[in-house]
Amino acid sequence: MKIKYSFWLIAGTFYLALAVVLIYGFLKNPRMLLLSQLLLILLFVGLIYFYRLIIRPINIIASGSDLIKEQDFSSRLTAIGQPDIDKLIGVFNKMMGQLKEERLRVREQHYFLDLLINASPLGVITLDFDQRISSLNPSAQRLFVGSETTGRLLAEIDHPLAAEMATLKPNEHKIVRLSGLHVYKCTRSYFIDRGFQHPFILVEELTHELIRTEKKAYEKVIRVMSHEVNNAIGATNSMLNLLADNLRQSDLAYSEDFCNVIDIATERGSNLSRLMSNFSEVVKIPDPARKEVSLQMLIDAVRLPLEAECHKRNIKFTIDLPTPAPTINADIIQMEQVLINIVKNSMESIGRDGQIAVKITSNPLALTVEDNGKGIAPEEQSLLFTPFFSTKPNGQGIGLMFIREILLNHQYQMSLETKANGITEFRIGFK
C-alpha cells in the first residue's frame, strides 16, 4: 500500500475516533459543542498541513524514481518551498543533468567509434564470451567474402586466415602469409564489458606495403648488379675474343684446345649477361596500356602455340569459355605473356602425360589454370611470389616475379595453391 493511502487511513481512523469521543462528550455536556467543532476543524487543517509536509515530498521522491527508471534525464523536479526537500531536489536535478550529459557524451563516443571502425582499413572481428564471431567491420567482411562467419567459431570457418587466427592467444600477434602473396598481421586483444574480458581480433594487411618495400630493394640491387656484371662481362668477353683470334692465327701447339676453353668461358659470360638482362626486364615492365578486351581474344591469341607445345608433351589442353565471352580492362600484350607463363609453368610441373584446363567464369569474373602436375609442397606454399624464389631446381624465380608485377599493376587478385585433390590452381580475379 502506498504511503499516502496509509497516511489517510490512519489519519481518518484517528479523526473518526476523536469525533466519536467529542460527540460522546457533547452528549454528556452540551456546552462543549462549539469547542468540539473547533477542535475537529483544527485537526483537519493539521492533517492537511502534515500531508503537505510529509506526503508531498514522498510523492516528489517517487516521481524522481520513476524518471530514473524510465531513463528520462531531461525532466526536472520542481521545488516545493521546504528547505531540506528543496536542497534534495536541487541535488537530484544536478545529478539528472550530469547523467544527461554523460549519456550524450557516451552516445557521441559510440557513434564516433562506430564510424571509425567501419571506415578503418584494419579488419576488426569482435567475439562474444563463447569465442564466437559476433560482428565484423567492412574491412574484415572483405577478407571472408563467400564464407558464413557470424555466430561461428574461427576454427569452423573454411578459410586459411581464420584457421591461423583461431590459434592466437590473448595479447598475441603473428604475421600470416597466404598463397605466398597476401601478408597479414593478426593481433588478439580484449576490452572490458560488464566486468568481463570481451575478445576481439585486429587484422592488418601488409601485402601492398611489403611488396612496395621488396620492389624498391630488389630494383636497386638488380640495377647495380646488372650494370657491374654487364660491364665486367663485356670487357672480359672482348679480351677473350681477341685472345682467341690471336691463338687461331698462331702456330702454337694446343691453340685449338685453348680456343675451345675460351669459347666456353665466353658463352658462360654471355649466359650470365642474359640472366641479368632477364632480371632487368622484370624491373622495367611498363605500366599497362589498358583497354576493353574480350577474353575470347586473349585466349585465341595464345591457343595455337600452347596447344602445339602440349601436344608434344602428350598433355591434354582444354579451354572452358562462357558464351558470350566476358570482357576485361587490361593490356592485352601483357596479359598474353602472363597466360603463356602460367601455362608453361603447368607444363613443366607435369612434364609429360597430364592435363591442363583453362577456365573462365563470369560470376565472379575470374580465370583459372588447373593442372595435375607434381603440385606445390606445403613448406613452399608461403614462399610463392617471393622475389627470386622458384620451385624448380635451377630456376631463378623470374617467371612468377614477372607474373606478379603485371597482375599487381593491373590491380588484379591472384592465388596459386595445390588443393586437397592434388590439382594445382592458379587463379586470377579480375574484380
Residue 424 has, within 13 A of its CA and on its CB side, a CA count of: 22
Domain ranges in the chain are 3-107, 120-205, 210-283, 291-429
Do residues 281 and 320 make contact, with C-beta atoms less than 8 angstroms apart?
Answer: no
Res 1: pLDDT: 47
pLDDT at 241: 79
CB 125 within 8 A of CB 152: no
pLDDT score for 325: 85
Are the C-beta atoms of 205 and 378 separated by less than 8 Å?
A: no
Question: Quick check: bond before 305 cis, omega within 30?
Answer: no
Spans in the chain with pLDDT lower than 70: 1-8, 10-11, 14-15, 17-40, 51-53, 55, 146, 179-180, 217, 227, 251-253, 275-284, 382, 386-397
The CA distances from residue 57 to 78, 93, 97, 138, in Å, are: 11, 15, 21, 54
Chain-centroid distance of CA 254 in Å reads 70
Going from the C-alpha of 15 to that of each of 39, 56, 62, 138, 411, the distances in angstroms are 11, 20, 27, 73, 93
Cell 663485356 sits on residue = 234
Strand 354-362 and strand 315-320: pairing?
A: parallel
Q: Which CATH class is domain 120-205?
A: alpha beta
Q: Which residues pair with 198 in a beta bridge?
A: 191
Check residue 5 and give its pLDDT: 64
Contact 48, 62 (CB under 8 A): no
Rg (CA), the chain: 43
Please provide residue 141's backbone torsions phi and psi, each rounded to the nearest 5 degrees: -65, -35
**How many Cβ atoms sit within 10 Å of the Cβ of residue 321?**
18
What's the CA gap between 424 and 418, in Å, rounded? 4
Q: DSSP character for 148?
A: -
pLDDT of residue 357: 92
Contact by Cβ (8 Å): 3, 58? yes
DSSP character for 389?
-
Helix (H), strand (E) counts: the chain: 12, 12
For 24, the 3-state DSSP assignment is: helix
pLDDT tens per residue, range 263-300: 777 877 777 777 666 666 666 677 888 899 888 888 88
> What grid cell was written down for 235?
670487357
Rounded alpha-carbon distances, angstroms, from residue 74 to 63, 67, 71, 93? 13, 9, 9, 9
Largest Cα–Cα separation, the chain: 172
Q: How far is CA 365 from the centre of its chain?
A: 22
Interval 72-103: pLDDT, tens: 778 888 887 777 778 888 888 888 888 888 88
Q: Alpha-carbon distance 334 to 402, whole Å? A: 10
* CATH of span 291-429: 3.30.565.10
Burial-class residue 427 by CB neighbours within 10 Å (0-12, 13-18, 19+). Answer: middle
Q: Strand, coil or helix: what is 399?
A: helix
